[in-house]
Structure 1
Amino acid sequence: MPSATASQDEKSYQSRLARFWIPSLTVLMASVLYNWIPLHRGGNQAQASYIISGSFKSSSLYVLRYDRENKKLEVVQSVPGHGPHQYLYVDRPNHRLYVTSWKEPPHLSAWSIQVGHPGGVHPRLSLINQAPITAVSSYITSKHGLLFSAGGPTGEIHQLNQDTGAIEEKLQELLFVPAEALHNEDKSRKALRNGSHAIEISSLDEVFVPHLGHNSIWVYNLNSQKRSLEFSSEVKCLQPGDGPRHSVISEDGRRMYVITEHTSRVDLYHVTPSGIVHQASSSVIGEPLEHSKYRGDTVRILPSSFLDSSTDHEYIFATTRGIDYSQHGQLAVFKYDMNTGTLDNLIRWETQTSGGKANAIEFSHVKLVWNKVELVLTDDEVGWVSILECDLDKRIVTVISSCLIDQEGIGASHAVWI
């Protein structure tokens, strides 16, 4: 017959075991739930994404919060800026924002994006510095600690401070006019209509500048040791008066897509060691002969990581604006088949307004399920910023949520996800 002491020892052991295992099991279950339900971390904040938008009619920058669960988009902060800011480039890993401005004298601005700051609920923007440039710039991009900009008669390369993100020394100035003519050239935002308009750098360190007035693409190679661009070639567009406005390059650096402002067409070029060669074209609008009613705007390539299926094709999104407020703009989606070399239109969707000077798009960095794509669209006519969802399988575009960035008429220019 067991003794009373042995029974008490067993109960004591079981009690100690329970005190150890119950908390451990609780932690384990919490960990499993944390990893199985990532969208619920931190409550509603984890369900949200943030967007920063510029404006053509206000000097401010606007921070917007998109609540994905409740499908609600709202402005949470208006930050006094140095605009109107027409284009934004976000450096997500380093939480920095670089913006162009129509304000004169011409300049670029660098901002820090402070996330999770003490006592803060939403991201906060703080100006790092400004840097003077020769002519008002339109588009900007960054790579290798350098900031590339282009607009009108010139383009520039600036060094970026690795620690602070500040725009520092100008390393090079690109000229799209003879040097002796630069002094008399228009350097205001009006020069963007007939000058260089955008600049993009590929994964192979080739740089492309669409030039509206010259009706051509200027191609450069980046010399990483000298930290400067070396001119390679100038390639004319397919037709006189096309007006190349914006270009994007595929992830492997082998394909470039260009949207033309005056003919609202997307042209595909193969990038070869000897230059760029035209491969295919497709119209953004349903009636190509009616291109005088539109102005081609933005082109984007959907990242391959967003695709559920094989990577023998890629999707290209492009927009065009109405020539005036009576003509709505359009969003088009194309599919490039790498096996056949064809560029086919899948979707044409009429935007809510003409888009004004905007109708710019950017993809969210959140991957949705079932081949759906989330993107932001800006409107300069009324001032809408809209979240769109594109179903690539059903070939439909849906407006999920919209809000005004300011009072009606203060239009949005370009918005980026942070």
Structure 2
Amino acid sequence: MNLQTVLDLGNTHGPSANATGPAPLRHVLSGSFRSISLFLLAFSPSERTISHLQTVPAYGPHQYLAANQHKNRIYTTSWALPPSLSSWNVEHSDSWRVTHINTVPITATSSYITVPPPYKYAYSMGGPTGEVHHIEPDTGGLEEKVQEILFIPEDELEKADKTRKALRYGSHGIEFTPSGQQAFVPVLGTHTIEMYLRDTNGHLKHVFAATSPRGKDANDGPRHVKIHPNGKILYCVTEHSNYVDAYRIYPTSLEYISSSSLLPPDLADSSETFRGDTLMLSPSTSANPTPKVLIATTRGSTSDIRGWLSIFPLDDDGSFKAPPAEIERYQTPTSGGKANAIDISPKGSFSEDGLWILLTDDDDNTASASGTGAVRVLEWDGWGNGGVKMVAEWPSNADDKPADSQEEIIQGASHAIWLD
């Protein structure tokens, strides 16, 4: 594999190609749980189709993708062994190109990775450890490890499971407040959210552990967190109990506020058959400077149980709107497999309140699907406008790949992100 492979994507998919015609294409990069490659796609809002631009030789299977503020640097976690992180360059031009920058070793397989302001360090977490890596300012590549964080006693690390299996009971993600001074790590095995303060050298210092609001024995499994732009509210999806919990953020602690179920009321007693997954806040725009909704997903525990996407209305301060405020529910086409992850982008001129939602699918039981799409685009145009709808999927049919094609088609999408 040539690590310096440059993917010249041609001149037909750049922003200027659509300047006076239909809405510009929206570019997407996706990982896969069953492929070592990354996949560059283009979504046409006007034609409502997803096209495949390029298969990117990579180091997967990839669990999670994160971008810097310009979305011209991408950082990925991987299930490959030995454990590693990779960095990628994305050129935003008439001729889109993606190049591999570098790959660095880590102690244990990481789940999530993030690059918070001022974009000097990459933070990854997974299983028994977390790591902080310096980012080379010119290339965007990952440099030396500056800190390792342990979630088990140091004398147990040598014998600890460092594969992806440890993600089921170890650390699972990391997010920062907008100031970049506070960081939060959900840990499935201890049912806690660990809080850290960051110093000027990028190092994290542990200051607090928030236990489950339902008690130490609730087996909640905190999995994924996000933080309101006001820096005052943290939201956490619980994998085992299928809640979104909201906490108030203080300088060195968290205080539980309230919870909302990821499941419709008639399934509230069936949480053991679902796996709480990911959550996102609607992006800030000039029309809506503060998030109006929080969107979260849960997967079916088996292929014959379809997952759910829920849209929760938020007050201006970030708290959940009290009943009888509406919660929008959308049953996903499949269980989602190990995915059902989301990324969100405003629809722009298409709708003031509207959102494009990327949804990834890793369900290998295609008989239960409405198609075989591994990456889907959903749309939501705000309350009372018809709910969530699926508008495009890729691949749209198992026969999309020509019999003589050597091009790899995605199998089991993991996480996809909007690049523009």
TM value normalised by structure 1: 0.85
Query: Quick one: distance in 2 between partners of 1:340 and 1:90?
Result: 24
Query: Quick one: distance in 1 between partners of 2:358 and 2:305?
Result: 21
Query: Quick one: distance in 2 between partners of 1:84 and 1:114?
Result: 23
* CA-CA distance at 1:227 after TM superposition: 2.1
Q: Which residue of 2 aligns with 1:217?
A: 193
* Structure with the greater alpha carbon radius of gyration: 1
* CA-CA distance at 1:375 after TM superposition: 1.3
Query: Quick one: distance in 1 between partners of 2:81 and 2:252?
Result: 39
Distance 1:306 1:215, change over 3 A: farther
Equivalent residue of 1:184, what SS? Answer: coil
Q: Which residue of 1 aligns with 2:362?
A: 380
Equivalent residue of 2:295, what SS? Answer: strand
Structure 1 segment 8-407 matched on structure 2, within 5 A? 40-41=18-19, 43=21, 47-93=24-70, 95-116=72-93, 120=95, 123-143=96-116, 144=118, 145-204=120-179, 205-224=181-200, 226-239=201-214, 240-286=218-264, 287-305=267-285, 307-308=287-288, 311=290, 314-338=292-316, 341-343=319-321, 346-364=327-345, 366-367=347-348, 368-381=350-363, 382-394=372-384, 396-404=387-395
Structure 1 unaligned spans of 5+: 1-37
One-letter amino acid matched to 2:100: L
Query: Quick one: distance in 2 between partners of 1:209 and 1:185?
Result: 19
Q: Which residue of 2 aligns with 1:18?
A: none
* CA-CA distance at 1:42 after TM superposition: 6.0
One-letter amino acid matched to 1:211: V
| Greater mean deviation of Cα atoms: 102-111 or 268-277 | 268-277
Query: Quick one: distance in 1 between partners of 2:202 and 2:246?
Result: 29
* CA-CA distance at 1:400 after TM superposition: 1.0
Q: Is the CA contact (8 Å cut-off) linking 2:226 and 2:280 kept in structure 1?
A: yes
Equivalent residue of 2:314, what SS? Answer: strand
Q: Is the CA contact (8 Å cut-off) linking 1:281 and 1:343 kept in structure 2?
A: no
Query: Quick one: distance in 2 between partners of 1:412 and 1:92?
Result: 24
- Write out per-residue CA displacement over residues 119-174 of structure 1, whole angstroms, 9 at most, x where no aligned residue: x3xx2211100010000000000022100000000000000001000100101000
Q: Is the CA contact (8 Å cut-off) linking 2:121 and 2:135 kept in structure 1?
A: yes
| Greater mean deviation of Cα atoms: 385-394 or 191-200 | 385-394
Q: Which has more helix, going by share of residues?
A: 1
Query: Quick one: distance in 1 between partners of 2:320 and 2:81?
Result: 44
Query: Quick one: distance in 1 between partners of 2:85 and 2:173?
Result: 14
One-letter amino acid matched to 1:218: E
- Write out per-residue CA displacement over residues 156-214 of structure 1, whole angstroms, 9 at most, x where no aligned residue: 00000010001001010000000011111000000000000001111132100000000
- Write out per-residue CA displacement over residues 353-374 of structure 1, whole angstroms, 9 at most, x where no aligned residue: 1100000110125534242111
Q: Is the CA contact (8 Å cut-off) linking 2:195 and 2:252 kept in structure 1?
A: no
Distance 1:264 1:340, change over 3 A: closer
* CA-CA distance at 1:263 after TM superposition: 1.0
* CA-CA distance at 1:86 after TM superposition: 1.1
Q: Which residue of 1 aligns with 2:10?
A: none
Computed over aligned residues only, the root mean square deviation of the Cα atoms, in angstroms, reads: 2.1
* CA-CA distance at 1:306 after TM superposition: 6.6
One-letter amino acid matched to 1:69: S
Q: Is the CA contact (8 Å cut-off) linking 1:64 and 1:76 kept in structure 2?
A: yes
Q: Is the CA contact (8 Å cut-off) linking 1:250 and 1:256 kept in structure 2?
A: yes
| Greater mean deviation of Cα atoms: 185-194 or 92-101 | 92-101
Distance 1:212 1:306, change over 3 A: farther
Query: Quick one: distance in 2 between partners of 1:340 and 1:327?
Result: 31
TM value normalised by structure 2: 0.84
Distance 1:50 1:74, change over 3 A: same
Q: Is the CA contact (8 Å cut-off) linking 1:349 and 1:397 kept in structure 2?
A: yes
Q: Is the CA contact (8 Å cut-off) linking 1:101 and 1:107 kept in structure 2?
A: yes
Q: Which residue of 1 aligns with 2:412?
A: 411
Equivalent residue of 2:144, what SS? Answer: strand
Distance 1:402 1:191, change over 3 A: same
Identical positions, percent: 38
Query: Quick one: distance in 2 between partners of 1:413 and 1:405?
Result: 17
Q: Is the CA contact (8 Å cut-off) linking 2:32 and 2:410 kept in structure 1?
A: no
Q: Is the CA contact (8 Å cut-off) linking 2:39 and 2:410 kept in structure 1?
A: no
Query: Quick one: distance in 2 between partners of 1:339 and 1:54?
Result: 34
Query: Quick one: distance in 1 between partners of 2:281 and 2:311?
Result: 10
Q: Is the CA contact (8 Å cut-off) linking 1:86 and 1:102 kept in structure 2?
A: yes
One-letter amino acid matched to 2:357: L
Q: Which residue of 1 aligns with 2:402?
A: none
| Greater mean deviation of Cα atoms: 375-384 or 321-330 | 375-384
Distance 1:409 1:141, change over 3 A: closer
One-letter amino acid matched to 1:116: S
Query: Quick one: distance in 1 between partners of 2:193 and 2:318?
Result: 25
Q: Which residue of 2 aligns with 1:14?
A: none
* CA-CA distance at 1:238 after TM superposition: 1.7
Equivalent residue of 2:158, what SS? Answer: helix
* CA-CA distance at 1:61 after TM superposition: 0.3
Query: Quick one: distance in 1 between partners of 2:212 and 2:73?
Result: 35
Equivalent residue of 1:63, what SS? Answer: strand
| Greater mean deviation of Cα atoms: 320-329 or 298-307 | 298-307
Q: Which residue of 2 aligns with 1:30?
A: none
* CA-CA distance at 1:305 after TM superposition: 1.8
Structure 2 unaligned spans of 5+: 1-15, 364-371, 399-408
One-letter amino acid matched to 1:269: Y
One-letter amino acid matched to 1:379: D
Q: Is the CA contact (8 Å cut-off) linking 1:321 and 1:359 kept in structure 2?
A: yes
| Greater mean deviation of Cα atoms: 267-276 or 251-260 | 267-276
Distance 1:332 1:39, change over 3 A: farther
Distance 1:67 1:195, change over 3 A: same
